[in-house]
Amino acid sequence: MKNTRRVLFIVFGVIGGAVVLGGLVCCGLFATVWSGVRSLMTTSEPATYALQRMQEVPGGDCVGSPVAFGWAVNGSYNVHNGDHDADMSLPVSGPKGDGSLRVDGTSVGGVWTYDALAITCPDGTVVDLR
């Protein structure tokens, strides 16, 4: 009886350890992919341009400076034969609060046009950055 308990303890310990290790590996892979997608979106030309416009347009600096991107990026950034399209919602934060950047644009031949380029300020005001 004592040996059976010992064997069961070892078997379940090995299985439990494998499950925990597998979970950690899956979480690590997910975090790596998510970080790569976030980096691609936040360093893209449209996101960089939106940050620049926040500083240039009156009312665009409503979150203050410096501005940092949040983790919950949402949307898409696609490249087709050298042309690009972006449809993104990017959380931003600064000393004055949190906001959200909305970027919807296309690039043909390296020239970007924006259907939407705006920031939603901490008080809910939407400022067009185009």
SS (H, E, C) 59-108: CCCCCCCCCEECCCCEEEEEEECCEEEEEEEEEEEECCEEEEEEEEEEEE
Query: Cα torsion for 121, 38, 82, 55, to the nearest 10°?
Result: 30
Q: Are residues 63 and 120 in the same domain?
A: yes
Question: How many domains is the chain built from?
Answer: 2
Q: Are residues 30 and 55 in the same domain?
A: no
Q: Are residues 18 and 64 in the same domain?
A: no
Query: Residue 35's domain spans which residues?
Result: 1-42
Q: Are residues 117 and 53 in the same domain?
A: yes
Q: Are residues 51 and 103 in the same domain?
A: yes
Q: Are residues 16 and 38 in the same domain?
A: yes
Give the model's pLDDT for residue 1.
62
Q: Are residues 106 and 54 in the same domain?
A: yes
Q: Are residues 38 and 49 in the same domain?
A: no
User: Per residue in 72-109, pLDDT tens?
Assistant: 888 888 888 889 999 999 999 999 999 999 999 999 98
Q: Are residues 30 and 62 in the same domain?
A: no
Q: Are residues 37 and 49 in the same domain?
A: no
Give the model's pLDDT for residue 6.
79
**Beta-carbon contacts of residue 102 (< 8 Å; ≥ 6 apart):** 88, 89, 116, 117, 118, 119, 120
For the chain, residues with pLDDT lower than 50 are none
Give the model's pLDDT for residue 114.
94
Q: Are residues 23 and 84 in the same domain?
A: no
Give the model's pLDDT for residue 100.
93
Q: Are residues 81 and 114 in the same domain?
A: yes
Coil, strand, or helix at residue 55?
helix
